[in-house]
Each structure stands twice: as C-alpha cells, then as structure tokens.
C-alpha cells in the first residue's frame, strides 16, 4: 500500500463528513513527463496542501507530443507550466497567455560540450561546429544567443550547424555534435551517468552568458483572470504550490519519493530523481512565486535580440500579472 493511499485513508478517518464539502476543481498541465522538475506540485498534492485550500487538483504530465499552450487553448487545463519564450511567442501569435506566478527564479539551461571538440569560449569557438538544440519552443533562447554572437544557424564556417536534438544525450555520446542542450538538473547528469566525467566536458550556462530566460512559470488565459471565482482558486493554488516547492527544497529525498509514486511509467529511478530534486531546489530558491520584473525584462530583451528573426517582434503588453501572487501571499 503506497503512502499516498494510506494518507487518503487516514484523512478520511479524521475528516469524515468534511471531505464531502465541495472543492474547486483545477487542472494543471505540466511541460514534461512526471519528474522532480515538478516536485513542488506533487508534494503539494501528496501533503494535502491543495486540500487545505479547498482545491481538487488534477496534475497532467506532459511529453514530447504535448504542447501545454495548445492544451490550455483547447480547454484541457486551467493552468500550465511553460517556459516564458514559448509563452510570449504564443501570445504574440494570438493566444492570450498570462504569467500568474514564477516558481523558478533561475534558469537551468546550458550547453554541454565535449572538451575534445576544442570549445572553450562561445565568442570564438562555436563557428563551424554542430550544436544539438531542443525544439518545440525550447529553441528560442538558443537562437537568440546565436544572434547575439553574430552566428548564423544555417551552418558554414562562420555559423553553426543546428542538430535537432531529441530529448536525450545520444548526439554527444555518439559525437554527432560538439555540444548538446542540457538542463543542470537532468541531461547533464545523464551524460555523467553514461560514463563521461566533468573533466571530459565544458559547460556554458545561459545565465552566465547573459541570455537566460525564465523557465517553468505558471500561465493561464486572460479570460480566466476575468472570472473572480477562478482568480480566487488560482491564488489558493499558487499558495499551496509554493508551500509544496519550499517543502521540496528542504526535503529533496522525500520529494523524489513522492514523484516516483506518481510516475506511472516506472521509468524514473530514486537516485536520479533525488539528484534532480536537489538541483531544481537551486532554481526555486529565493522565489515566493512572484515574478521579478527585472527577470521578465531580461527575458524580453533576450528574445527581442534575435536579429532578422527575433522570437518576438515587439515588447509584450499584459503578459504577466501580480494579482494572483499578491492575493496568495497576503
């Protein structure tokens, strides 16, 4: 019997008729599969933080064929986890997405390169190299970075060849690319687990290169924010979620166990998820859920610097609100 089932039974014995009270239903669509990248939400659910706020939250995992923005547009979720570049790009194309909270304060994105490729400085050493890049909205920060370096992404000696990278590290292991996209909490460690050592690698964090963009924010539709009842429910959701994130920061091993209990695929391991939870804690540290406007402006600046093909073509308006976090925190 899992701890989650035991907790549900215990709660029923204690609460009794209270469980019959109506709760507000809310569906959260994750950006990716069940893993510690989303530990705060699973912890909030497991620990009863959503229940305490009168919420019945359904957490839907993502995957390579699931675009959170499309799920939201189609009415399949009330709120989504998405990276800001993809959210702002979708907003400019007509989907009125609004950032309502920003649990991730820092970016975990980086390029991981083979030292033997001779790359030590992005300013001089990327030219003529093949670089692995995730797409499905994750390519935007990379493309902006290359633009700031003055590098074409069409290949050639004065540009880079972009390898459309799957969500694995094979191109680096098989030496199909000099560098690949990795997250500090996930794929980098997959490279290490595959047998390479940190001494075999050179890493370039987007945050260190001045091109970091906000990741894993919470977004809803503008129309949702025009409904006072939904605003109230979202504020309670954010408050409970941030309580979950702070608990996960302090208890990464337990957070990893909770994630595994919710992983229906059985593909995750406790070792990898515990390490991921510990690394993700570095990214949520210092955040109470409120979007820092300076971080927002840095993201917008990066996305507008895409040369002839910027991710967004103009400064967004109404792309975020503090209404939800102000209510959640007060």
pLDDT at site 124:
94
Give tens-digit pLDDT for 223-248. Answer: 999 999 999 999 999 999 999 999 99
Averaged over 177-190, what is the pLDDT?
96
Q: How far apart are CA 219 and CA 45, in angstroms?
A: 19
- Mean predicted lDDT score pLDDT of the chain: 92
Q: Which fold has domain 109-205?
A: D-Maltodextrin-Binding Protein; domain 2 (3.40.190)
pLDDT at site 121:
95
Residue 297's alpha-carbon distances to 81, 102, 121, 213, 323, in angstroms, are 20, 14, 26, 9, 18
Averaged over 187-206, what is the pLDDT?
96
DSSP 164-184: E--SSSHHHHTTS-SEEEEET
Closest C-alpha to 324, from 243, 244, 242, 234:
234
The whole-angstrom distance between residue 40's C-alpha and the CA centroid of its chain comes to: 12
Query: What is the CB neighbour count within 10 angstroms for residue 41?
Result: 26
pLDDT at site 12:
46
Residues 6+ apart with CB under 8 A from 325: 100, 101, 235, 238, 288, 289, 290, 291
Q: How far apart are CA 38 and CA 48, in angstroms?
A: 16
pLDDT at site 218:
98
Look at the alpha carbons of 289, 218, 276, 109 in this order and tell me if their dihedral is positive or negative.
Answer: negative
pLDDT top residue among 19 and 270: 270
Contact predicate 314/277, CB 8 Å: no
The SS3 of residue 154 is: strand
pLDDT at site 21:
64
- What length is written for the chain? 330
Contact predicate 156/110, CB 8 Å: no
Here the tokens at position 254 are 């337990």
Give tens-digit pLDDT for 66-94. Answer: 999 999 999 999 999 999 999 999 999 99
Residue 307's alpha-carbon distances to 93, 161, 173, 304, 311, in angstroms, are 19, 18, 32, 8, 9
Which DSSP symbol is given to 98?
Answer: E
Averaged over 11-18, what is the pLDDT?
45
Here the tokens at position 317 are 């308006």
Q: Is the pLDDT of residue 198 over 90?
A: yes
Q: Is the pLDDT of residue 192 over 50?
A: yes
**Phi and psi (nearest 5°) for 68?**
-55, -40
pLDDT at site 19:
45
pLDDT at site 5:
46
Within the chain, which residue ranges are assigned CATH 3.40.190.10? Answer: 3-106+214-329, 109-205
Closest C-alpha to 123, from 210, 194, 60:
210
Averaged over 35-43, what is the pLDDT?
98
Which DSSP symbol is given to 288?
Answer: -
Q: Is the pLDDT of residue 10 over 70?
A: no
Residue 230's alpha-carbon distances to 89, 154, 221, 328, in angstroms, are 25, 46, 11, 13
Q: Which fold has domain 3-106+214-329?
A: D-Maltodextrin-Binding Protein; domain 2 (3.40.190)
**Phi and psi (nearest 5°) for 288?**
-105, 10
Provide the percentage of residues in the chain whose pLDDT is more than 70. Answer: 92
Give tens-digit pLDDT for 110-167. Answer: 999 999 999 999 999 999 999 999 887 778 889 889 988 999 998 888 899 999 998 8
**Phi and psi (nearest 5°) for 10?**
-60, -40
pLDDT at site 190:
95
The pLDDT confidence band at residue 16, using thresholds 50, 70 and 90, is very low
DSSP H/E element including 87: helix 84-92
The pLDDT confidence band at residue 266, using thresholds 50, 70 and 90, is confident
DSSP 213-274: ---SEEEEEGGGGG-HHHHHHHHHHHHHHHHHHHHHHH-HHHHHHHHHHH-TT----HHHHH
CA angle at residue 188 from 182 to 189, to 5 degrees? Answer: 145
């Amino acid at each position: 019997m899992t701890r989650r089932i035991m907790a549900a039974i215990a709660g029923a014995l204690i609460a009794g008729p209270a469980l019959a009270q109506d709760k507000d239903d809310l569906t959260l669509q994750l950006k990716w599969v069940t893993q510690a990248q989303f530990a705060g939400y699973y912890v909030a659910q497991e620990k009863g933080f959503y229940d305490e706020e009168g919420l019945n939250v359904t957490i839907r995992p993502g995957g390579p064929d699931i675009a959170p923005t499309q799920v939201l547009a189609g009415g399949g979720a009330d709120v989504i986890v998405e990276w800001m570049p993809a959210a702002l790009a979708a907003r400019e194309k007509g989907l009125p997405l609004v950032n309502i909270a920003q649990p991730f304060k820092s970016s975990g994105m980086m390029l991981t390169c083979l030292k033997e490729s001779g790359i030590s400085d992005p300013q001089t050493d990327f030219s003529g190299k093949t670089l692995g890049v995730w797409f499905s909205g994750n390519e935007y920060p990379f493309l902006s970075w290359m633009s700031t370096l003055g590098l074409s992404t069409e290949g050639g000696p004065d540009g880079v060849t972009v390898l459309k990278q799957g969500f694995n590290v094979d191109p680096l292991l098989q030496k199909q690319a000099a560098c690949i996209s990795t997250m500090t909490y996930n794929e980098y460690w997959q490279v290490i687990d595959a047998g390479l050592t940190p001494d075999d690698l050179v890493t370039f964090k987007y945050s260190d290169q001045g091109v970091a963009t906000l990741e894993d924010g919470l977004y809803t539709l503008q129309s949702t924010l025009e409904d006072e009842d939904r605003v109230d429910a979202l504020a309670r959701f954010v408050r409970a979620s941030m309580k979950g994130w702070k608990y996960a920061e302090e208890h990464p091993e337990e957070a990893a166990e909770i994630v595994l209990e919710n992983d229906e695929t059985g593909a995750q391991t406790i070792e990898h998820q515990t390490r991921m939870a510990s690394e993700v804690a570095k990214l949520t540290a210092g955040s109470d859920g409120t979007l820092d406007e300076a971080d927002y402006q840095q993201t917008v600046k990066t996305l507008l610097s895409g040369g002839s093909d910027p991710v967004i073509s103009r400064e967004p308006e109404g792309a975020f609100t503090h209404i939800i976090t102000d209510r959640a925190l007060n």
